[in-house]
């Protein structure tokens, strides 16, 4: 149980978060641009840290623990594979998004497509993503806080949710995106400090015997590999081949959207200029993949020694509902060994992770509701103050809905797989819509509807029909194939977007490339050169930077692992590889920036 010194640290953290929201409330309330984009004058480093803080959710260490306990360290390829998506966004799409000058990424639909289908799609996505999908994400994050509260405070779910969500809801509604960004900054510092401190202390537990004892323990030794066992074809497909070959480009997932989107696009749109947008997304990917994972992985491995199975967790925490005792509970369970003072810091760090994620999702979801539904369809003439007021009300409602759904979930991996399945097959469309004129609003509507129906079938209907159960990777692959085939067919048989809209899009965005050749040829060669070629087609250079960036970050990630594993030959080779890729990237990056 926590003592006075722990509660004091947590209280001061909550107080500081609320103070930031109150301090910027007046400025945030001036306009929707201020409330949702901080006036579009944010620097790359603040936006990058905010993205990292947002993806550092309270459920992230729980999810990593679940993966490590289920598949070993190699199980993290289920999310490590998304680095490919991240680097593609950095070097190809970040500048396109900032160039658009939109308030939300959903405005893209009426910039890129035409007519009633475009307007319908914008409104539908506003509710689908801003409410439905967003609530699921926030519910998964809130579930982690429920488990943390049950383990560390022995508090039932409802009081935990009310306390954690209440503070976040208040400062998010008051401060808008500017308040979110500044609280993210110190919340990220606290979250990283807490996770590293927890890993260091856990290694010193008598049961663990420091790093050497952990690595040599029988329960851990077989789970240290960074790659799955290549002789186990089932595991190889599930956690390595499918994520790298299919998942990264085909699945829409918050924070790793192919082509950018969601709160990542919101941060890019809030940047000072295109280069700040590029720098912000690059910093995010470096910190997200190369900096953060190992403290969580160490605690997850240690949990295998202390709590080798679910039954040991149930025995240790009999007051917790057995239905939610899953492998992800092992992370907060390990924190119960921390001494007072440090425990308060780590708990504050978990609340920081929770609040940074929830505050972003509240502001982002509210921006969709206000700008892309309320103002677009219900009150086009509403003044700025009224829109900000609606934004604050929608923030409160979203948090309430997420808290309710959180009480229905059981574990982090469950929510992760559901979100992957719902977004399966839409990713290729989000990548190609910038560079292929033939994609239209009906393409996106088809992808969204089909992917949702396929997910519902696999999650709720397939097993009820008495059919053989499918692995998660099988459901994902089938979902990708069915959804992709569906939207491609609709794209080719439906009426394309009006040419005037396509030409206007090219003038503003300057995407370039062979996918626009037909449209630009009809518009005239002079206009084609001026509107699309502009400063030259920079996608080939961007793809080179993408692969060099992936090489640098993966090398750094694995080098860190091998240094921890005390394998100096591998560690030195990968450290050299990280430096070499970084130098090559720096050279190639200069060419991209000058385009």
Which tokens go with 99? 């160039």
Produce one character per residue of 479-499: b if its CB has 16 or more CB atoms within 10 Å, e if not. Answer: bbebbbebbbebbeebebbee
Helix axes 384-406, 342-367, angle to 10 degrees: 130
Give the span between the Cα atoms of 148 and 354, in whole angstroms. Answer: 11
Q: Where is average pLDDT lowest: 105-109, 191-195, 296-300, 573-577?
A: 191-195
What's residue 80's pLDDT?
95
Helices (H), 102-228: 108-112, 115-127, 134-148, 157-203, 210-216, 218-221
What's residue 82's pLDDT?
93
- Is CATH 1.10.3720.10 correct for 4-423? no
Q: What is the mean pLDDT of residues 164-168?
A: 72
Q: Judge whether residue 592 has pLDDT over 70.
A: no
Helices (H), 307-440: 310-316, 330-335, 342-367, 384-406, 412-423, 427-432
DSSP state string for 1-31: ---HHHHHHHHHHHHHHHHHHHHTHHHHTT-
What's residue 143's pLDDT?
79
Whether the Cβ atoms of residue 74 and residue 239 lie closer than 8 Å to each other = yes
CA-closest candidate to residue 257, choices 33, 112, 21, 94: 94
Q: Judge whether residue 441 has pLDDT over 50.
A: yes
Q: Where is average pLDDT lowest: 13-17, 184-188, 432-436, 523-527?
A: 523-527
Q: What is the mean pLDDT of residues 573-577?
A: 97
What's residue 107's pLDDT?
93
pTM of the model: 0.86
Give the span between the Cα atoms of 227 and 81, in whole angstroms. Answer: 12
CB count within 10 Å of CB 241 equals: 17
What is the per-residue pLDDT across 277-336, written as a single tens digit (0 to 9) for each? 999 999 999 999 998 899 999 999 999 999 999 899 888 888 777 877 888 889 888 988
What is the per-residue pLDDT across 458-511, written as a single tens digit (0 to 9) for each? 888 888 888 888 888 888 899 999 999 999 999 999 999 999 999 999 989 888
Q: Judge whether residue 531 has pLDDT over 50.
A: no
Return the half-sphere exposure (C-beta side, CA atoms, 13 A cut-off) of residue 504. Answer: 11
What is the per-residue pLDDT across 293-306, written as a single tens digit (0 to 9) for each? 999 999 999 999 99
Confidence bin at 350 (pLDDT 50/70/90): confident
Q: Judge whether residue 594 has pLDDT over 70.
A: no
Give the span between the Cα atoms of 252 and 426, in whole angstroms. Answer: 6
**Chain centroid, CA 508 distance in Å:** 28
Give the span between the Cα atoms of 91 and 214, in whole angstroms. Answer: 40
Give the span between the Cα atoms of 42 and 28, in whole angstroms. Answer: 14
Q: Judge whether residue 13 has pLDDT over 90.
A: no
Give the span between the Cα atoms of 173 and 35, in whole angstroms. Answer: 9
What percent of the chain has pLDDT above 70?
91
CA-closest candidate to residue 83, choices 289, 283, 254: 289
Between 146 and 57, name the one with better pLDDT.
146
Confidence bin at 451 (pLDDT 50/70/90): very high
Confidence bin at 525 (pLDDT 50/70/90): very low
Give the span between the Cα atoms of 37 and 42, in whole angstroms. Answer: 9
CA-closest candidate to residue 272, choices 152, 95, 413: 95
What is the per-residue pLDDT across 204-215, written as a single tens digit (0 to 9) for each? 999 998 999 999
Q: Judge whether residue 527 has pLDDT over 60.
A: no
Give the span between the Cα atoms of 249 and 418, in whole angstroms. Answer: 17
What's residue 301's pLDDT?
95
Confidence bin at 413 (pLDDT 50/70/90): low
Which tokens go with 222? 């077989």
What is the per-residue pLDDT across 117-132, written as a single tens digit (0 to 9) for each? 999 999 999 998 888 8
What percent of the chain has pLDDT above 90?
41
Backbone angles phi, psi at 251, to 5 degrees: -115, 135
Mean pLDDT (the chain) is 85
Q: How far apart are the first and last CA of the chain?
A: 58
Handedness of CA 581, 582, 584, 585 (dihedral sign): positive
Which residues, in sequence order, are CB contacts of 469 under 8 Å at separation 6+? 462, 463
Q: Judge whether residue 532 has pLDDT over 60.
A: no
Whether the Cβ atoms of residue 502 and residue 532 lie closer than 8 Å to each other = no
Between 341 and 90, name the one with better pLDDT.
90
The DSSP 8-state label assigned to residue 465 in this structure reads: G
CA-closest candidate to residue 103, choices 34, 169, 153: 34
Produce one character per residue of 38-58: b if its CB has 16 or more CB atoms within 10 Å, e if not. Answer: bbeebebebbbbbbbbbbbbb
CA-closest candidate to residue 165, choices 150, 144, 185: 144
Q: Provide the 3-class DSSP secondary structure of residue 75.
A: helix
What's residue 339's pLDDT?
86
Which residues, in sequence order, are CB contacts of 589 under 8 Å at separation 6+? 545
């Amino acid at each position: 149980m926590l003592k006075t010194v722990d509660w004091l640290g947590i209280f001061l953290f909550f107080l500081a978060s609320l103070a930031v929201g109150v301090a910027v409330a007046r400025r945030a309330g001036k306009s929707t641009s201020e409330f949702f984009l901080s006036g579009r004058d944010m620097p790359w480093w603040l936006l990058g840290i905010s993205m990292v803080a947002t993806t550092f959710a309270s459920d992230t260490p729980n999810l990593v623990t679940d993966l490590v306990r289920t598949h070993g360290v190699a199980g993290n390829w289920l999310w490590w594979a998304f680095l490919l998506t991240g680097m593609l966004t950095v070097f190809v799409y970040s500048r396109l998004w900032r160039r658009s000058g939109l308030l939300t990424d959903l405005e893209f639909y009426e910039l890129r497509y035409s007519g009633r289908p475009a307007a319908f799609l914008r409104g539908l996505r506003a509710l689908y993503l801003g409410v439905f999908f967003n609530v699921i994400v926030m519910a998964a994050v809130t579930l982690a806080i429920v488990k943390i509260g049950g383990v560390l405070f022995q508090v039932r779910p409802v009081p935990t949710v009310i306390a954690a969500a209440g503070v976040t809801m208040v400062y998010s509604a008051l401060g808008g995106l500017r308040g979110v960004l500044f609280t993210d900054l110190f919340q990220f510092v606290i979250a990283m400090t807490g996770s590293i401190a927890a890993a260091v202390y856990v290694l010193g537990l008598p049961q663990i015997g420091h790093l050497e004892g952990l690595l040599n323990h029988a329960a851990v030794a077989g789970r240290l590999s960074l790659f799955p066992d290549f002789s186990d074809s089932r595991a190889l497909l599930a956690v390595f081949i499918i994520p790298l070959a299919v998942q990264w480009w085909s699945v829409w997932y918050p924070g790793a959207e192919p082509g950018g989107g969601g709160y990542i696009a919101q941060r890019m749109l809030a940047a000072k200029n295109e280069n700040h947008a590029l720098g912000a997304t690059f910093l995010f990917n470096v910190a997200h993949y190369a900096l953060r994972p190992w403290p969580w992985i160490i605690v997850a491995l240690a949990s295998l020694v202390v709590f080798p199975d679910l039954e040991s967790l149930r025995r240790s925490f009999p007051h917790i509902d057995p239905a939610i005792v899953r492998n992800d509970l092992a992370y907060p369970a390990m924190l119960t060994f921390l001494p007072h003072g440090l425990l308060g810091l780590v708990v504050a760090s978990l609340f920081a992770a929770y609040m940074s994620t929830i505050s972003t999702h509240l502001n982002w979801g509210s921006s969709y509701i206000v700008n892309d539904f309320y103002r677009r369809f219900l009150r086009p003439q509403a003044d700025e103050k009224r829109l900000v007021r609606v934004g604050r009300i929608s923030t409160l409602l979203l948090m309430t809905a997420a808290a309710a759904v959180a009480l229905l979930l059981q574990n982090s991996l469950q929510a992760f797989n559901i979100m992957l399945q719902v977004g399966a097959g839409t990713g290729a469309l989000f990548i190609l819509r910038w560079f292929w004129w033939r994609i239209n609003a009906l393409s996106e509507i088809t992808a969204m509807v089909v992917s949702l129906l396929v997910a519902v079938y696999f999650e709720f209907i397939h097993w009820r029909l008495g059919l053989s159960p499918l692995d998660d990777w099988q459901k994902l692959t089938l979902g990708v194939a069915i959804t992709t085939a569906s939207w491609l067919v609709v794209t080719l048989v439906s009426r394309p977007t009006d040419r005037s809209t396509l030409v206007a899009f090219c003038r503003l965005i300057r995407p370039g490339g062979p996918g626009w050749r037909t449209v630009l040829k009809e518009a005239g060669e002079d206009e084609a050169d001026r509107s699309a070629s502009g400063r030259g087609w920079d996608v080939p250079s961007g793809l080179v930077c993408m692969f060099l960036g992936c090489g640098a970050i993966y090398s750094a990630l694995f080098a860190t692992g091998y240094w921890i594993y005390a394998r100096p030959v591998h560690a030195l080779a990968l450290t050299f590889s990280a430096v070499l890729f970084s130098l090559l990237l720096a050279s190639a990056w200069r060419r991209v920036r000058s385009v």
